[in-house]
Amino acid sequence: MNDVDKKIEDLSKSKFRSSFHLKEKDKKYIKEKGIDTIRIHAEDFIDKRLAPEVILNDGKQTPMRGHPVFIAQHATATCCRGCLEKWHKIKKGKALSIKEKEYIVDIIMKWIHHELERKI
């Protein structure tokens, strides 16, 4: 089991984190746009909303709905720097490295893939 799979397993044990799921409209959006486009969206959201050293609205920068990546960020505790520090041991107060950003996008996309395969 790799780090991403292990972390998703750990997060699934959290009552709050495990309460997030993609709705049919989210799954339809992913199918219409394509998974590669969703990954580009995730990369863009992470670059703009999570990667900077200082985030003025940290803790409130990720909506609870409106895009499948936002749902995935809450499910994977990649929604703010506080959750990143608590769950992923990625410290606040510094810009994210390329490796950290790749890890965050990977965990988001892995969760989305799991959700697309999940039987209700």
Element (DSSP H or E) covering residue 37: helix 35-49
Average pLDDT of the chain? Answer: 92
Per this entry, what is the length of the chain? 120
> Which pLDDT score, from 0 to 100, does residue 5 have?
87
- Both tokens assigned to 118: 């999940």
User: What Å distances lie between residue 32 and 27, 35, 37, 69, CA to CA?
Assistant: 9, 9, 10, 15
Whole-model pTM: value is 0.92
Tell me: the pLDDT tens digits for 7-20?
A: 998 999 999 999 99
Tens of pLDDT along 101-119? 999 999 999 999 999 998 7
**Domain locations in the chain as residue ranges:** 3-117
Q: What is the pLDDT of residue 20?
A: 95
**For the chain, how far is it from start to end, CA to CA, in angstroms?**
25
| Distance between CA atoms of residues 9 and 84, nearest Å | 16
pLDDT at residue 59 greater than cutoff 80: no
Who has greater pLDDT, 4 or 67?
Answer: 67
User: What pLDDT digit, counting tens, does each position of 46-55 carry?
Assistant: 999 999 998 8
Q: What percentage of the chain carries pLDDT values higher than 70?
A: 98
